[in-house]
């Protein structure tokens, strides 16, 4: 296939949608489900509560039904809110429809969350705000029996297909079933796209300090954000451009276009069925006459040859810290699920900084605490997700840097005139105490606090 055809299609799908000026916010919050009996989450209970939710919120209609006839996704067509299960029935997601202020999203989220949590508590289950399910070892980690999630798990399990790749894989292909994120989508206009990606990429280390909340209990528990490694050392990370941050400065949309061309693709659909194949460069995929993949049929996978089609670009699924979407939005996805009471601080932080790019860039350009010391933003993030930050980092200095950035976010929110700056208040306490939710969890366990108490605390709305 002609490369120009592929490039034009990439532009049309990823960049052209940003030419429409909008100013909406989209929020997705994934939350682990926990069986307080220290047993596997009871999926029968999950299905009962899904039905109960639908009966109580009559505007929600089934959007996804698995192969066993169970609902795994409900959507309100009026608000576009979605309540669903992410990867498995161990993880619930509240995806809030686009809004222009955070209070509306927060009100609806709190309503849904309260109802679902109280419903689970009737069965001695609960929800909590952590980026890794603290009871993961008790759970049955199997994917939702649906096209997408079976395909995804099949891809993550296929490490034997990459014996010539110079990387090591971790042993948790089921990590999507026990890890949870708090994601934000913001409308970004085309003229601001390059600067948004460049500047926000540079503050990933500060975001790690402020928001880390993925402690892998029993293993690697000195890391406050183990989620990063789960993505990087999986089959999603075969091409490092598909995951993590951007450790380059884009000079133009042409640079961004070239980056999109460098991504890998690993699945497409034919006749409403997913087909997996070994992850390969997008241009290489379209350069082949046929690609051999695997299709799930009647409980097993069989080989199938497919002819690449230009429409397959819609199945390009990078998992960058910052992603361009087909909606014309920029999705920020590097932050763990937060303690529930602080859920809106993630969206507020990004929203407040969105129109403060020049000021944010000035702060970074003039910093001497962590920047301009020979480290890339990606390298700094890896250093700053440790329980103890490196000795070369001045603790007072990095607290001031973090506060300057949160102050800027707060200023941006104040200028919106809605009062949303209230949502970043928890970040000031974290800066003052030199901590984040992940570090707090580690410290609490070291101090003898029971995990059950932390689960309860991180699951409270207030």
- Does the 20-144+164-248+318-458 domain belong in CATH 3.30.590.20? yes
With tokens 């089959």, the residue in question is 235
Can you give the pLDDT at residue 385?
96
Report residue 300's pLDDT band, with 50, 70 and 90 as the boundaries: confident
Residues 211-262: tens digit of each pLDDT: 999 999 988 779 999 999 999 999 999 999 999 999 999 999 999 999 999 9
**Which tokens is 3 given?**
């490369």
Can you give the pLDDT at residue 20?
85
Can you give the pLDDT at residue 450?
97
In this structure, the number of other CB atoms found within 10 A of the CB of residue 29 comes to 26
Report residue 270's pLDDT band, with 50, 70 and 90 as the boundaries: very high
**Which residues, in sequence order, are CB contacts of 241 under 8 Å at separation 6+?**
259, 262, 263, 264, 318
**Which residues, in sequence order, are CB contacts of 271 under 8 Å at separation 6+?**
none
- Per-residue b or e along 52-88, where b marks 16 or more CB atoms closer than 10 Å to that residue's CB: ebbeebeebeeebebeeebbbbbbbeebebbbbbbbb
Can you give the pLDDT at residue 456?
98
Residues 416-447: tens digit of each pLDDT: 999 999 999 999 999 999 999 999 999 999 99
Residue-by-residue DSSP string for 162-202: GTTSSS---S-TTGGGTB-BEEEEEE--GGGHHHHHHHHHH
* Percentage above 70 pLDDT, the chain: 100
Report residue 282's pLDDT band, with 50, 70 and 90 as the boundaries: very high
Whole-model pTM: value is 0.97
Residues 154-205: tens digit of each pLDDT: 999 999 999 888 899 999 999 999 999 999 999 999 999 999 999 999 999 9
**C-alpha closest to that of 240 among 318, 155, 315:** 318
Judged against a pLDDT cut of 90, whether residue 411 lies above it is answered with: yes
Distances (CA, A) of 52 to 64, 66, 75, 125, 287: 16, 18, 14, 15, 50
Can you give the pLDDT at residue 30?
98
Residues 108-135: tens digit of each pLDDT: 999 999 999 999 999 999 999 999 999 9
**Which residues, in sequence order, are CB contacts of 326 under 8 Å at separation 6+?**
13, 14, 17, 314
Half-sphere exposure of residue 342, counting CA atoms within 13 Å on the CB side? Answer: 25
Task: Please give the average per-residue pLDDT across 4-22, as a whole number.
Answer: 93
Residues 311-327: tens digit of each pLDDT: 999 999 999 999 999 99
- Mean residue pLDDT across the chain: 96
């Amino acid at each position: 296939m002609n490369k120009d055809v592929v490039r034009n299609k990439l532009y049309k799908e990823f960049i052209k949608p940003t030419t429409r000026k909008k100013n909406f916010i989209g929020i997705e919050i994934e939350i682990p489900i926990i069986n307080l009996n220290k047993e596997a989450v009871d999926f029968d209970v999950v299905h009962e509560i899904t039905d109960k939710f639908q009966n109580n919120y009559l505007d929600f209609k089934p959007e996804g039904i698995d192969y066993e006839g169970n609902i795994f996704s409900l959507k309100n067509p009026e608000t576009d809110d979605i309540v669903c299960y992410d990867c498995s029935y161990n993880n619930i997601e509240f995806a809030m429809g686009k809004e222009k202020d955070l209070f509306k999203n927060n009100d609806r989220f709190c309503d849904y969350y309260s109802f679902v949590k109280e419903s689970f508590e009737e069965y001695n289950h609960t929800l909590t705000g952590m980026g890794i399910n603290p009871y993961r070892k008790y759970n049955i980690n199997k994917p939702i029996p649906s096209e997408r999630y079976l395909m995804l798990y099949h891809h993550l399990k296929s490490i034997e297909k990459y014996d010539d790749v110079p990387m090591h894989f971790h042993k948790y292909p089921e990590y999507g079933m026990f890890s949870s994120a708090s994601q934000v989508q913001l409308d970004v206009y085309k003229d601001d796209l390059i600067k948004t990606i460049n500047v926000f990429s540079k503050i990933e280390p500060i975001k790690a300090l402020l928001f880390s909340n993925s402690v892998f209990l029993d293993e690697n528990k000195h890391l406050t954000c183990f989620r990063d490694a789960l993505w990087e050392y999986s089959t999603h990370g075969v091409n490092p451009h598909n995951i993590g941050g951007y450790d380059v400065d884009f000079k133009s949309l042409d640079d961004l276009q070239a980056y999109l061309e460098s991504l890998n693709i690993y699945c497409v659909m034919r006749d409403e069925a997913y087909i997996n194949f070994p992850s390969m460069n997008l241009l290489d995929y379209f350069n082949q006459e046929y690609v051999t993949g695997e299709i799930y049929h009647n409980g097993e996978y069989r080989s199938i040859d497919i002819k690449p089609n230009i429409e397959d670009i819609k199945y390009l699924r990078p998992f960058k810290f910052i992603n361009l979407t087909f909606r014309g939005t920029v999705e920020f996805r590097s932050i763990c699920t937060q303690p529930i009471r602080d859920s809106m601080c993630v969206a507020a932080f990004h929203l407040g900084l969105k129109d403060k790019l020049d000021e944010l860039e000035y702060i970074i350009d003039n910093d001497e605490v962590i920047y301009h010391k020979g480290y890339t933003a990606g390298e700094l993030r890896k250093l700053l997700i440790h329980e103890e930050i490196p000795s070369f980092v001045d603790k007072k200095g990095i607290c001031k840097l973090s506060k300057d950035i949160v102050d800027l976010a707060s200023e941006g929110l104040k200028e919106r005139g809605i009062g949303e700056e209230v949502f970043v208040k928890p970040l000031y306490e974290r800066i003052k105490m030199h901590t984040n939710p992940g570090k707090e969890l580690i410290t609490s366990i070291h101090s003898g606090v029971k995990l059950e108490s932390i689960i309860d605390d991180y699951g409270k709305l207030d």
